[in-house]
Amino acid sequence: MENINTIQNIPDTPKKRIVIIGGGFAGLELAKKLCAKPFQLVMIDKNNYYQFQPLLYQIATAGLEAGSVSFPLRKYFQKYKNAHFRLGEVLKVNPEKNEIVTDIGSLRYDYLVIATGTKSNFFGLENIYKNALGMKSVTDAIYIRNYLLNNLEKALNETDTNKISNYLNIAIAGGGPTGVELAGALAEMKKYVFNKDYPELDLSLMKIKIFEGSDVLLNGMSAYASENAKRTLEKMGVEVLLNAKVTDYDGEKITLDNGQIFNSKTLIWATGVSAAKPDGFHHQSAGIGMRIKVDRYNRIAGYDNIFALGDVAFMETLDYPNGHPQVAPVALQQGKLLAKNFQNIIKNKPLREFTYKNKGTMATIGRNSAVADLPGIKLSGFIAWFLWSIVHLLSIVGAKNKVFVLIDWIYRYFTYDQSLRLLIKHKTTHSE
């Protein structure tokens, strides 16, 4: 049953109300550009913080604190009386009533912006959904860190070689940037950290594997980047299996589409995403990958006052017939342009079409090693790694976060140490 109560303490004003669902790259960029403009803004997110997803793998591998890549959303709205944030989950959109229904109540809008991003896509594989570890949020990354450290502790209490190996083995499904960066970080921990923390363990039993369903790593980047990444990872001791699709996982055994079986108590799912969109839109708005079909103004097909941004949006252009890549620069550029177009709307000026300015793609592999496809040039090694570090450091939200991340990176660079190897468990209740 729908919650018919109105979300409280958001006053009705003469200003047009823009409701933004999602506080990620696109939603936050849009809000930042409109906070001081003549609109009433309401942002709704199921978390009260923004998270910098490109560095989640460093939380999962004990390199960064969760707070270093997160930022409280309410802090952005402190200075603006016309901006509001609500912690909640949107259940449904009622376009005919210009309202959304959430778990904390309903809310009317003049303009609605869907910026909800993506969620892990397990392709209907129920066992994988139940047993694999996804990594789409800070919470997921912390859980992976705890899970990996706990397995090392359990391995210490075993004497059977096969059981020890199962606890130590780490499998990653997906050879995109997340899978490659995660595998590289884990290989460095094995070499520089685990051998010191767990001298009693035979780490030669630990195998780090990437299962990639296509015939290349970093699909979407250049052949140069793909081959370089594969070669570097293999030098680091990572086993890369191409044309290897994971079809089943029971928590112990990983089954591939060719029938091969690998044993591991850890499978990290870093392949496949689907749009995380609310219900309520008609079938005409459905695009490739469950994304919401939008026009060149990011307006959802069939609606005049509803827009979608970033990963959840599917915009077909001549250069991108299958939609834009689901990366942060697209989301940021769309958020910035939509903010200008909202101002054009109230000024009765024509809207500007979105054109993606691709400034390049990068992925880090490990210490002093990365690949970068930049306009007119392809880089690898230290230079690419240095550029990757600068770009990501500047992209982190919050001056304090930038400083903390830089300090952590410098410390790790000179000490070869991941200092946040904390196994933090939740407190059990009496009922548990």
* Cα atoms in the Cβ-side hemisphere of radius 13 Å centred on 316: 11
354: nearest Cα among 341, 372, 367 = 341
CATH number of 126-271: 3.50.50.100
Residue 112 sits at the vertex; the CA angle it makes with 108 and 115, to the nearest 5 degrees, is 130
Instruction: Using alpha carbons, select from 104, 112, 135 the residue that is nearest to residue 22.
Output: 112
DSSP class of 319: S
Please state the pTM of the whole predicted model. Answer: 0.91
Residue ranges of the chain with per-residue pLDDT less than 70: 1-4, 283-284, 419, 426-432
Rounded to the nearest angstrom, the gap between the alpha carbon of residue 312 and the centroid of all alpha carbons in its chain is 12
Q: What is the pLDDT of residues 10-49, one digit of tens each?
A: 999 999 999 999 999 999 999 999 999 999 999 999 999 9
pLDDT reported for residue 4: 54
In the structure, how many helices (H) and strands (E) does the chain have?
A: 12, 25
* CATH superfamily assigned to domain 16-120+273-346: FAD/NAD(P)-binding domain (3.50.50.60)
Q: Which residues pair with 51 in a beta bridge?
A: 70
Tokens representing residue 260 in the block: 């091969």
Look at residue 429 in the predicted model and tell me its pLDDT: 47
What span, in angstroms and rounded, lies between the C-alpha atoms of 113 and 303?
12
Q: What does the pLDDT read at residue 288?
A: 75
Q: Which pLDDT score is estimated for 430?
A: 46
CB 80 within 8 Å of CB 275: no
User: Which segments of the chain belong to CATH 3.50.50.60?
Assistant: 16-120+273-346
CA distance 160 to 205: 12
Can you read off the two tokens belonging to residue 134? 């996804």
Q: In this predicted structure, what is the pLDDT of residue 283?
A: 66
Among residues 25, 7, 10, the alpha carbon closest in space to that of 335 is found at: 25
* Res 289: pLDDT: 74
- CATH 3.50.50.100 positions along the chain are 126-271
Instruction: Write the single-letter amino acid at 413.
Output: Y
Output the pLDDT for position 362: 95
Q: Where are the alpha helices (DSSP H) in 2-137?
A: 25-34, 56-60, 73-76, 126-131
| Residue closest to 246 by CA, chosen among 236, 258, 264 | 258
Give the phi and the psi of residue 29 in degrees, each rounded to 5: -60, -45
What are the tokens at 310? 């970033």
In this prediction, residue 123 carries a pLDDT of 86
